[in-house]
Chain A
Amino acid sequence: MSGSREKFVVEPERYEFSAGPMHHFELLRRDFFKLLGAGIAVFTMAKESGAMQETAPARGFHSEDLPKEINAWLHIGEDGGVTAFTGKVEIGQNIRTSLAQTVADELRVPFESVRMVTADTALTPFDFGTVGSRSMPTMTPQLRRVAAAARDLLVQVAAKEWNVPAEGLKAADAKVTDPASGRSLRYAELARGKTLAQNLPAEDPVTLATEWTIAGKSIPKVDARSFVTGKHQFTPDLRPAGLLYGKVLRPPSFDATITAYDDAVAKAMRGVIVVHDGDFVGAAAQSEREAQKALDAIQVKWKETPQISNREIFAYLKKNAAATSEDRYRKQSGSMEEGLAQAAHRLDTTHTISFIAHAPLEPRAAVAQWTDGKLTVWTGTQRPFAVRDDLASVFHVPESSVRVIVPDTGSAYGGKHTSDAALEATRLARAAGRPVRVFWTREEEFTWAYFRPAGVIEIKSGIASDGKLTAWEFHNYNSGMSAIETPYVVANRRIEFHPVPFNMRQGSYRGLAATANVFARETHMDTVARAAQIDPLEFRLKNISDPRLRAVFEAGAKTFGWPRKKTQEGQGFGLGGGIEKGGYVATFAEIVVDRASGAVRVVRVVNAYECGAIVNPDGLRNQVIGAVIQGMGGALFEAIEFENGRITNAHFANYRVPRFRDVPEIEAVLLDRKDIASAGAGETPMLGIAPAIGNAIFDATGVRLNGLPLAPNGVKT
């Protein structure tokens, strides 16, 4: 970020994530114990990586100095306290609690003795990011393996102490016991006076879910008391000594560039630092107001470019689909022509998906501090290591000079993958020579973050007279590929994704494009079923071969009482479901449409979900219900409006999010499959609600709504 117009804003991943860069460093002899005190430290390597390596005590432990084959570590202190490290971030999904449960369970120690250190690039293993519902399927086994390795090591230490073979010894209740003699040693005693560091290969198997004692239980959120007392410090609550408050001058519209600039008046203000670097203009001062006053005093002329509005977006996406692109996806099997020829009913539908915003209640924030050429940044991000890499690259410092720490954060929903606030705070802090906080306003958050991509989806299908699908063609323009493949059995199908170049920032959103693809598919399925006069649930079950998907549909139907008879005017029932990221969801909704106003009220929702073995039932229920409520916003009324590069509803007053009055009675039906590895639950439980509501609206009114949001101004009947 010199004067040379270097690109300042790092674009978010637009669609799905690919593997991140892997870095390999020489193993340095560093001291883990200086940081954590004496005891036993265990590092594990991914199984596929080579031979065991030595990890020995030295000075100044830094995770970036360890080889990346080492993917997990933990420490057992002389007091028996266990510290486990993960690059994952806590953003309300309760990962701090569920991972601590996992470690305690596998190490055979009380839950209370485990402390998780999360998302600190200097201390925790490299992690690609808290994204894509990967924490459960990848981090849980990694932590189980390191805990199992630590348990084995403790057994070996005890065996050596007693001079007996390790084979007969048992580890349980935070101690190693010799059943032959009845003697035992607590882990704390085994760790006492030691500085033992072992680097072990990760070994399977780990404890089966049927034998879990701490995992699988509803343990309350760790540190919950600090949240109800207001003591927990989110990023914007941090106040290091000498802190200045930064503000950034935002362009009047997307892609606007500076043509004239005069900051003489602002620079003359007392206690104000002004930075003009490329198209970045910012100020830091003793308070946000003073920083803002300085920005207000800067004379700037902008060159703007005309841009389309939300009214034209869908036509634009259809027209500008890239004919060739590496993001393009095409898959075909069988023959659409033959499939359609076999069909008794054929249907074409077009669906539209509006841009929506994540609107996390904690807007983007960062506190940056330079000390002797080294940079520490606290920021609410889902990708601390990516932010570190961005900072190192933008500010031309080695990665080892940058430390990114993520305090437990006020939610993200896929919206906090980028490093924007971190880069801004760091640029200002470098100029000020003092720590600087940048804390986006709600309007900035709505405007300068990124959006869930808009999209157009076209579907063509055919079904035979027995209700079996014979043909399925699916085209998604721009919104993405997650869950683009149908989970229903159909021999003849063509699936295509068409990326579209567009200047507005688009990126991940809870569930990615699966919310769009499942909405379109499940709406289409419902339309087909109604046209063929088959019950919508029966129609789906006819076309499902996956027993796990069948199970959630059946479990949800049972609790909901499908099919139901209407008991009042305007009442309707609908369902929708799907598979994504190892999770299976089926959602059933009851709605009432007010005949006079057209207002849609969601009365009751049953959300059936299965993601393998459940680690924390209460935490899972919280996610599965919360996903329905958040999903109701995008389903019914959320849409970003824009014109000429400006967001025209960048406030909670005109961007409607679900509130108390919108919340229906919601039941979570959780299927616990102890025989299947745990998958994530942050995203997939959200997928069924939009089609369930849309299909219920059709049931109530006969009006088929094919776009999201379904009814921002009610249903016209």
Chain B
Amino acid sequence: MPIELEVNGKRYPVHYDPDTPLLFVLRDELGLTGSKYGCGEGQCGACTVLIGGAPRRSCQIPVSAAAAKPITTIEGLEKDGRLHPVQQAFLDAGAFQCAYCTPGMIMSSVGLLQSNANPSSAEIVQFLQGNVCRCGTHARIIDAIHQAAKVMEEHGR
């Protein structure tokens, strides 16, 4: 019996070894390449996905351990052509340069806002300490999260 994953509402059989980190299954087997490899050591946050709604480093989780809960990747945030408020806020704030860290930043931010609807700047800094941006767009990312929090509050979600 192959492992089955539920990703972005769809079920996928997985043929890679059960101890393969989830990231490599998502990217190389399922073709969901929005989640990025940055270090493979849980140190940079580029691979962040939501597992059961909580932000997790997919490079650190064996695919067998990820099978029990629904997984959301960056590809699953957009609904019916409408961006998630966090995606829209990153877009509006221009919160990127090379944008390689962006999917992980967005997934971490979505996770943060689920547990803390209106975080302070200090709370954002604390929460994103594990996400690396080498280009130096940190301040714009913080602005984007504040903006997304505002929009999400206004729209009641």
Contacts and interface: CB of A to CB of B under 8 A. Distances in A.
- Whether chains A and B associate is yes
Interface of A: 91-94, 220-221, 224-225, 227-234, 236-237, 239, 245, 287-289, 359-363, 408-411, 413, 439, 441-442, 618, 622-623, 625-630, 651-653, 657-661, 663, 666
Given A93-B97, A229-B78, A239 B129 contact: no
B138 A629 contact: yes
The DSSP consensus for interface residues of chain A is loop
B33 A230 contact: yes
B17 A289 contact: yes
A220 B139 contact: no
B16 A627 contact: no
Interface string B29-59: 1011111111111011010000000000000
A228 B24 contact: no
Contact of B36 (A361, A413, A659): A361
Contact of A652 (B28, B129, B132): B132
Given A289-B16, A360-B134, A652-B44, A229 B97 contact: no
B128 interface: yes
Nearest to B77: A229
Given A410-B98, A442-B40, A660-B128, A245 B28 contact: yes
Interface in B85-102: 87-88, 90-91, 94, 96-102
A411 B17 CA distance: 32
9 contacts: A91-B98, A94-B97, A221-B99, A229-B74, A230-B103, A361-B36, A361-B101, A622-B94, A626-B136
A245 B124 CA distance: 37
A288 B124 CA distance: 35
A71 to B, nearest CB: 27
A627 B135 CA distance: 7
A229 B75 CA distance: 6
Interface string B116-152: 0000000011101111111111111010000000000
B136 A232 contact: no
Contacts of A653: 41, 43
Nearest to A220: B94
A228 B17 contact: no
Contacts of A626: 97, 135-137
Nearest to B138: A663
A225 B96 CA distance: 11
B71 interface: no
A411 B133 CA distance: 10
B41 A442 contact: yes
B114 interface: no
A359 B88 CA distance: 28
A284 to B, nearest CB: 13
Contact of A92 (B31, B43, B97): B97
A228 B105 CA distance: 10
A660 B134 contact: no
Contacts of B36: 234, 361-362, 410
Contacts of A237: 27, 33
A410 B100 CA distance: 5
B39 A442 contact: yes
A404 B27 CA distance: 23
A625 B136 contact: yes
Contact of A651 (B17, B37, B39, B97): B39
A615 to B, nearest CB: 15
B83 interface: yes
Given A224-B96, A237-B33, A629 B136 contact: yes
By Cβ-Cβ distance, the 7 closest A-B pairs, closest first, are: A230-B34, A92-B98, A410-B100, A626-B136, A629-B136, A230-B74, A237-B33
A542 B6 CA distance: 68
Contact of B43 (A231, A245, A628, A652): A652
B100 A361 contact: yes
Given A230-B35, A442-B39, A359 B134 contact: yes
A439 B37 contact: yes
Which of A228, A413, A652 has the most chain B CB atoms closer than 10 A to its own CB? A228
Given A228-B106, A410-B98, A659-B131, 5 more contacts: A92-B135, A228-B90, A411-B98, A627-B136, A659-B129
Task: Count chain B CB atoms within 10 A of each CB in A408, A413, A628, A659 and give the residue with the most.
Answer: A659
B105 to A, nearest CB: 10
Nearest to B102: A227
A94 B135 CA distance: 12
B74 A287 contact: no
Contacts of B106: 228
A666 B136 CA distance: 11
B99 A659 contact: no
A653 to B, nearest CB: 5
A228 B102 contact: yes
B37 A236 contact: yes
A48 to B, nearest CB: 35
A623 B31 CA distance: 32
A653 B130 CA distance: 10
Residue of B46, B83, B102 most packed against chain A (CB within 10 A)? B102
A602 to B, nearest CB: 13
B134 A411 contact: yes
Contacts of B78: 229
A657 B97 contact: no
Given A359-B134, A625-B139, A653-B43, A411 B97 contact: yes
Given A442-B40, A663-B139, A361 B132 contact: yes
Contacts of B38: 361-363, 442
Nearest to B134: A361
Nearest to A92: B98
A287 B16 contact: yes
B27 A221 contact: no
A402 B28 CA distance: 26
Contacts of A410: 36, 98-100
A229 B33 contact: no
A225 B103 CA distance: 11
B73 A230 contact: yes
Contacts of A93: 97
B28 A288 contact: yes
B40 A228 contact: no
A660 B129 contact: yes
Contacts of A439: 37
A228 B97 contact: no
B10 to A, nearest CB: 15
Contacts of A625: 136, 139
A630 B134 CA distance: 7
Contacts of B100: 92, 234, 360-362, 410-411
A660 B83 CA distance: 25
Given A227-B99, A441-B40, A659-B129, A288 B134 contact: no
Contact of A661 (B34, B44, B99, B129): B129
Contacts of A362: 36, 38, 98, 100
A660 B125 contact: yes
B33 A221 contact: no
Contacts of B35: 230
Nearest to B90: A228
Contacts of B37: 236, 363, 439
Given A359-B134, A361-B134, A663-B139, A229 B83 contact: yes
B43 A622 contact: no
Nearest to B128: A660
A232 B99 contact: yes
A82 B142 CA distance: 36
A84 to B, nearest CB: 22
A227 B46 contact: no
Given A411-B100, A629-B138, A663-B138, A228 B44 contact: no
B102 to A, nearest CB: 5
